[in-house]
Amino acid sequence: MGAVKVLTVFGTRAEANKMIPLVLALQERAQSGNANPVDSLQVVSHVCVTAQHRELLDQSLAPFGVVPDVDLNIMTAGQNQGDVTGRILARLAPVLEEYKPDIVLVHGDTTTTFAAALAAFHAKVAVGHVEAGLRTYDKFRPYPEEMNRKLTTALADLHFAPTALAREYLLKENVPADRIFVTGNTAVDMLAHTTKENYKLENTAADAFATGDRVILMTVHRRENFGAPMDAICRAVARIATDFPTVRIIWPMHPNGAGKVESQAHLAHLPNVLLTQATNLQDTHNLMKRSYLILSDSGGIQEEAPSFNVPVVVLRETTERPEGLTVGTLVLAGVAEENIYNESARLLTDASAHKKMATVANPFGDGAASERIVDAVVGYFGKALREG
| Residues catalogued as catalytic | 109, 131, 145, 221, 223, 254
Residues 214, 265: Cα–Cα separation, whole Å? 24
Q: Whose CA is closest to 218, among 234, 204, 202? A: 234
- Say how many Å lie between the first and final Cα of the chain, rounded: 14
Report the half-sphere exposure of 97 (CA within 13 A, side-chain side).
7
What is the b/e burial string over 313-325, where b = at least 16 CB atoms within 10 angstroms of the residue's CB? Answer: bbbbbbbbbbbbe
Question: Residue 260 forms beta bridges with which residues?
Answer: none
Helix/strand/coil for 149:
helix
Give the pairing type, strands 180-182 and 215-219.
unpaired
Phi, psi of 130 (to 5 degrees): -85, 135
Phi, psi of 120 (to 5 degrees): -65, -40
Q: Is 37 exposed, middle or buried (0-12, 13-18, 19+ CB in 10 A)?
A: exposed
**Cα dist from 244 to 239, 248, 266, 336, 351, whole Å:** 8, 9, 16, 19, 15
Q: Whose CA is closest to 369, among 22, 2, 1? A: 22
Task: Give the count of beta carbons closer than 10 Å to the beta carbon of residue 6.
Answer: 26
Task: Give the count of beta carbons closer than 10 Å to the beta carbon of residue 70.
Answer: 18
Residues 237, 243: Cα–Cα separation, whole Å? 10
Task: Give the count of beta carbons closer than 10 Å to the beta carbon of residue 112.
Answer: 30
Helix/strand/coil for 275:
strand
Residues 121, 146: Cα–Cα separation, whole Å? 20
